[in-house]
Amino acid sequence: MDPQAAKLIGAGLAMGLGAIGPGIGIGLLAGRAMDAIGRNPEAQGAVQTNMILGMAFAEAIGIYALVVALILKFV
Amino acid sequence: MKNIVIAGGLVAALSIPGAFFLRVDRPHIVLPAEGLFHVAGFVITNTMLSAWVTLLVLTVVFLLAIRKRDLVPSGMQAWVEGYTEAMLSLVEGVAGKAWGRRFFPLVATIFLFVITNNWLGLLPWVGPSVYISEEVVKEGHAEILHLPLFRNPNSDLNTTLGLALLAMIMVQYWGIRANGLPRYIGKFVNVHGPINFFVGILELISEVARAIAFTFRLFGNMFAGEVLLLIMTSLISVLFFMQIFYALEVFVGFVQALIFAMLTLVFATMAVAGHGEGEEHKEH
């Protein structure tokens, strides 16, 4: 297979498959945060801050996949 | 309602001939920062230049703010004081009063530097619109390269790596300051039993992984945002639709700055935690 073609296919696969995990993770996080706010609306500030923090960790994994895809495409 | 439908229809109708006449060149995207000038053996890249612009902007803003020390602030002083108070209350909320004061300069500066980089990178003259032409001879024929003059410094791996190393080194320093070197090393090299030894190795690996995560989180978000804006601008011939992604970039710029600063703060708080517990027992 032409190496250029393999690179492009690799970039697409890297980003596509790499987005599954963080997508599910962030969705679960947000869902639990909604539950928590629903049960206890007064704790909204604390729940929201910790949710953003947790989302940063989960999203970073997706960003690693993005970096691999970008390196395959542009370097 | 009818007006909205008419406006939407006009925009959609305009985009069809726009695809033929209002084309923009496919953007030329490179991952490493382009070197602009050579000064005394050093290469000055466009991200370096933009970082200096950011420093200049921050310095000017703060100099303007502290010109008059009114007790009741107004104008620029009010903005800066508002930001400082908000950031200080955030930092002290996480780290407590004493350590919060010590962490505040680094955390607040990281936040300001990253957010100014990100938001200045959204202005019109940043990116391929303002460029320096350079002639490059490749395999016999000369090519004219357009090097953008300004570029978001966070889209360069060097800047983010520098920030991440700074943050992690300061976290280690504060941890050693709080707990003393033997106890701090004891967290990583734990000889009380095989499981604790394994946990210590994991802690060591996770410290290194945090530095790498900092680097790639900020780099990935900013570089991908830059690529996204360029592609969206060249892809959609009617200018209107690009603004949605522009707004997303504004939000992402703010969130990434906040996350970098907050994570530095949280890791520093965790690193000094051992000593903190002892203090609390004494107070009660």
CB contact under 8 A, B259 and A53: yes
pTM above 0.90? no
Of B29, B217, B220, the CB nearest to A74: B29
Q: Is A64 on the interface with B (CB under 8 A)?
A: yes
Report ipTM for this prediction. 0.82
For A75, which residue in chain B has the nearest alpha carbon?
A: B31
Phi, psi angle pair for B23, to nearest 5°: -85, 150
Report the gap between the CA of A71 and the closest CA in chain B (Å).
8
- For chain B (284 residues), the mean pLDDT of every run of 10, in chain order, is 85 72 76 86 91 95 83 80 92 90 95 95 88 79 85 93 96 92 86 85 90 93 90 69 84 92 92 58 39
Tell me how many domains chain A contains.
1
The CATH number covering residue A46 comes to 1.20.20.10
Distance of CA A21 to the CA centre of its chain: 7
Dump pLDDT digits (tens) for A38-75: 999 998 888 988 898 888 889 888 988 998 998 898 88
| Cα B49-B52-B56 angle, rounded to 5 deg | 140
Query: B261 vs B50, B88, B102, CA distance in Å?
Result: 21, 12, 14
Owning domain of residue A48:
3-74
Dump pLDDT digits (tens) for A1-49: 899 999 999 999 999 999 999 999 999 999 999 999 999 999 888 898 8
Q: Is A71 on the interface with B (CB under 8 A)?
A: yes
The pLDDT value recorded for residue B237 is 59
C-alpha to C-alpha distance for B223 and B156, rounded to whole angstroms? 8
